[in-house]
Amino acid sequence: MSWTPDQPMVSINNVHKAFGALEVLKGVSFDIMKGEVICIIGPSGSGKSTLIRCINALNDIQQGSILVEGQEVNDPDLNKLELRKKVGMVFQQYNLFSHKTALENIMMAPIRVLKRDKSETEKFARELIKKVRLEGKEGSYPSELSGGQHSALQYRVPWPCNQILCCLMRSLRHLIQRPLEKFC
């Protein structure tokens, strides 16, 4: 099946996931269209992070279907590295590399995983740092950043790769305080 932009970018249909006897995803279904922003809200332990991990093929599902741009995520022949190049994630306990500067943390994935040009990646990374108002902190290490600066930088790390989808598994309180376009 070939995907077209008028179809859902992500289509989740009747997804079930259990850990032993504990079923955490019980028939979850929804679509995400290109450009759409959704929030999955629920109490701790309700399966939000599990669903995001299933979308990125980090967890298998027992039943149902997850399509990303028309490609079945649970296909045994799926190239998971290629999927993860398109579907970025920020984990709940995501940490920046302590031995890398803010700029180096942002540049690492595009250069190492996607083999992007270093000078172009650096220019783009500096633009991202400017968007989150951290100009002057490019050479700072994570231990030299405030908690808010650290969080703002964490959300920039997956986006230089130009993924089709970015899954954030954290509180978005500081993102909601500013217009979304500053982050996208």
Whole-number Å distance between alpha carbons of 166 and 30: 16
Note whether 9 and 69 are within 8 A (CB).
yes
Kindly state the average pLDDT of the residues 29-38.
88
Predicted confidence band of residue 177 (pLDDT cuts 50, 70, 90): very low
Please tell me the predicted confidence (pLDDT) of residue 176.
Answer: 45
Question: In terms of CATH architecture, what is 10-78?
Answer: 3-Layer(aba) Sandwich (3.40)
So what's the pLDDT on residue 94?
58
How many other CB atoms sit within 10 Å of the CB of residue 21? 5
Classify residue 164 by its DSSP letter. Answer: S
183 or 58, higher pLDDT: 58
Residue 183 pLDDT > 50: no
Give the single-character DSSP code of 117.
-
The highest-confidence range among 56-65, 96-105, 155-164, by mean pLDDT, is 56-65
Per-residue model confidence as pLDDT tens digits over 116-140: 899 998 998 898 888 888 899 999 9
104 pLDDT higher than 70: yes
DSSP assignments along 131-151, one per residue: HTT-TT-TT--GGGS-HHHHH
Q: Which two tokens stand for residue 142?
A: 């994570």
